[in-house]
Amino acid sequence: MSSDQVMRDMMANLPVPEFESTPWASPPRLAEATVAIVTSAGLHRADQDRFDGRGDVSYRMLDRGDRELILGHWSSNFDRAAYVSDHNVVYPIDRLEELAAAGTIGAVAPRHVAFAGNQPDTVSEVRLDTGPAAAAELRADGVDVAILTPV
Amino acid sequence: MCALAHVLEEAGIATVVLASMRAVAERMNVPRVLYCEFPLGRPLGMPDNAKFQHGVLAAAFELLDASSGPVLVDYPEVVEAVETPLACALLPRYDPDVAPSVDEAHGLRAAYDRAVARRGATEVGRAIDADGVAEALADLERVAAGEHWKEVYGPRLDTIAIAHDIRAYYQEAALELVGGPPPGARQAEAWFYEQTEAGKTLAAARDALTEQEAPSGITFYMQPVGR
């Protein structure tokens, strides 16, 4: 069995936070929408603080022009070789730029967000504190749509 | 990721999760999920393949047309990991006076430096930098040989971060040596754990740490699950 399947089977049975309802935001037409990337890959610039080893609930804001970001999520259970070759496989910022240039999306957000992938099981801080704070920063930038990428 | 989708959506931002764990996404009432059965670490599926990545994004954006949720759609293409080791030959022994892993780490340094210069970034640096890799391997050799970890490291065991840095150093050097298109997922991992002296040392040190009843939260993450 592949390592990925082992991980999927392991995660399938872990308890997850319960959400009884499904919130729903209605975006503008895609061609008018400002789009951001939100990733749990723990990306950060070299001049930003690293994410802690365990259960880090903080986030980093990434500027639209940032490249050569460090993949800060520390888990040993995912492939890193692809990201080293092409950041777009985790953080498709160049693809968004192409879609904006083509008029498919309205705009690329001026800032994007990275969290760490290893969160405390309750994810209570992300739900109540740092998550809403990051969302407010994106809203202040006029973001309508977010693409969420885990590793 | 799925919890963040709830938070963003509550704040008025429409989200699409490119989920890698279908069973998790199913249980979390997430507004819009595109389940992508791709190797973990590659949520857009394929590196250096803009066409494929655009296909994934187009499918994700299509979910924004739904009028209510939750919506969970499977991306039709599956990408499998490749578990055969990367074809990266290792150098012959150079310095017989040091452990094979230490000798090997020294030998990879030039390739690692070229990789960092080309990319302008490195994943090495959680606990040690490139200058510390050989010494970190020498420490792991001591643990593997039976010394108690507290003798080697003191009270705080940080071998997850050390293992991360050693593996990143090796993988970045190997990708530079091999060149060409990026390998399949898990090929660099397989090369590191199955073919390098450092990978063998790490495995032996982890076994020794487990026997010494070092914290299991540390030893568990020194290697990928299934190894």
A33 falls within a domain: no
User: pLDDT value at position B117?
Assistant: 96
* CA B19 from centre of chain: 18
* C-alpha to C-alpha distances, A118 to A58, A75, A138, B20, B161, nearest whole angstrom: 11, 8, 22, 15, 14
Inter-helix orientation angle B100-107/B197-211, to 10°: 140
Token representation of residue A137: 């920063």
Residue ranges of chain A with per-residue pLDDT less than 70: 53
Q: Which residues of A touch B39 (CB under 8 A)?
A: 4, 78-79, 82
A22 falls within a domain: no
Query: Cβ contact (<8 Å) for B4 and A115?
Result: yes
Pick from B13, B20, B31: which is nearest to A150 by CB?
A: B20
CB atoms inside a 10 Å sphere around CB A149: 28
Q: To probe the interface with B, which of A47, A148, A151 has the most B CB atoms within 10 Å?
A: A148
Q: Determine the average pLDDT of the residues in B146-169.
A: 94
* Residue numbers of the domain that contains A141: 41-149
Burial of B200 (0-12, 13-18, 19+ CB in 10 A): middle
Which chain B residue has the Cα nearest residue A15?
B24
What residues are paired with A111 via a beta bridge? A63
Using DSSP's 3-state secondary structure scheme, residue B64 falls into helix
A81 falls within a domain: yes
Rounded to an integer, what distance in angstroms lies between the CA atom of residue B64 and that of residue A32? Answer: 13
User: pLDDT value at position A108?
Assistant: 98
Q: Where are the alpha helices (DSSP H) in B11-129?
A: 22-26, 50-62, 100-107, 109-119
User: pLDDT value at position A126?
Assistant: 87
Token pair 């939100």 is found at: A38
Total number of domains constituting chain A: 1
A25 falls within a domain: no
Query: Cβ contact (<8 Å) for B53 and A92?
Result: yes
User: pLDDT value at position B104?
Assistant: 96
Query: Cβ contact (<8 Å) for B227 and A3?
Result: yes
Concatenate the DSSP letters of all residues of B147-181 into one string: --HHHHH-S---HHHHHHHHHHHHHHHHHHHH-SS
A15 falls within a domain: no
Rounded to an integer, what distance in angstroms lies between the CA atom of residue B153 and that of residue B159? Answer: 9
- What pTM value is reported for the model? 0.93
Rounded to an integer, what distance in angstroms lies between the CA atom of residue B221 and that of residue B198? Answer: 16
Q: What is the dihedral of CA A46, A48, A51, A52, to 10 degrees?
A: 100
Q: Does B142 touch chain A (CB under 8 A)?
A: no
User: pLDDT value at position A127?
Assistant: 86
Q: What count of CB pairs under 8 Å joins A to B? A: 271
Pick from B47, B57, B121: which is nearest to A86 by CB?
A: B47
Q: Determine the average pLDDT of the residues in B55-76.
A: 97
pLDDT tens for each residue of B182-223: 999 999 999 999 999 999 999 999 999 999 999 888 888 888
Closest CA to A134 of B162, B7, B163: B7
> Phi-psi bin for A143: left (phi > 0), alpha (psi -120 to 50), beta?
beta
Percent of chain B clearing pLDDT 70 (strictly above): 100
A66 falls within a domain: yes
User: pLDDT value at position A2?
Assistant: 78
Using DSSP's 3-state secondary structure scheme, residue B18 falls into strand
